Amino acid sequence: MKKPDSNQFPLTTGSIPGQAPRCSYSGFTLIELLTTMAVLAILLSIGVPSYREMIRNNCIVTYNNAMISGVQLARSEAAKRRAPVRVSALNSSDGDNEWGPGLRIWQDANSDDTFNVGESIREIELSCGQTTMDETSGTTEFIYDSTGDVDTVSSLEICDDRSGERGSQITISPIGRPSSASITCS
């Protein structure tokens, strides 16, 4: 009788004389695979909604920080340049989201009350889902004078499409200092 070639059964772990060799296979059984998929599905059903909420909350924080840093930049530029510096909404035509697309910080070099090429100090563009930034009285521009005071007291509300959730309100005081507070969005 011919002895089997050792390469014929590469996965053998030993055999009993007169019987076929036993093979050991590595891998997953169907039950192990289904159990793993069920656990993964449960974890995803819990985690994905929480992740969406985190993204939406981060959008509100991003808008808040961008507006406050933009206002602080405009105030410091007005003092540094010893000239008025303007902060304007990028989309003044949208009555409920004037400031949502972003803001422009600029100096009116030729005093024509109109933004012209070359007058921009910085533009901050924002786009984050359904987040809106609305000035409550409809103001789309305010001007910092050389002392850092602002011509218009403003209050901006930052919310998204979730009703009853927390948002943010930025208030710019008469001396030009911005402050932020949490609000409940309607």
Which amino acid belongs to residue 168? Answer: S
| Structural domains of the chain in order of their starting residue, each with its CATH number | 30-184 (3.55.40.10)
Rounded percentage of the chain residues whose pLDDT exceeds 90: 51
Distances, alpha carbon 95 to alpha carbons 28, 44, 156, 181, in Å: 59, 39, 12, 22
pLDDT band, residue 1 (cuts 50/70/90): low
Strands (E), the chain: 85-89, 102-106, 120-125, 132-135, 141-144, 154-159, 166-172, 178-184
Q: Which residue(s) pair with 132 in the sheet?
A: 159
Mean pLDDT of the chain: 86
> In this structure, are residues 156 and 133 in contact, taking their beta carbons and an 8 Å threshold?
yes
Residue pLDDT, tens place only, 52-106? 888 888 999 999 999 999 999 999 999 999 999 999 998 877 667 888 899 999 9
CA distance 57 to 79: 34
Residue-level pLDDT at 104:
95
Q: How many CB atoms lie within 10 A of CB 53?
A: 12
Residue-level pLDDT at 13:
54
Could you tell me the pTM of the whole model?
A: 0.73
pLDDT band, residue 139 (cuts 50/70/90): confident
Written as six digits, the tokens of 121 are 């100090």
Residue with tokens 């533009």: 123
Rounded percentage of the chain residues whose pLDDT exceeds 70: 86
Residue-level pLDDT at 2:
60
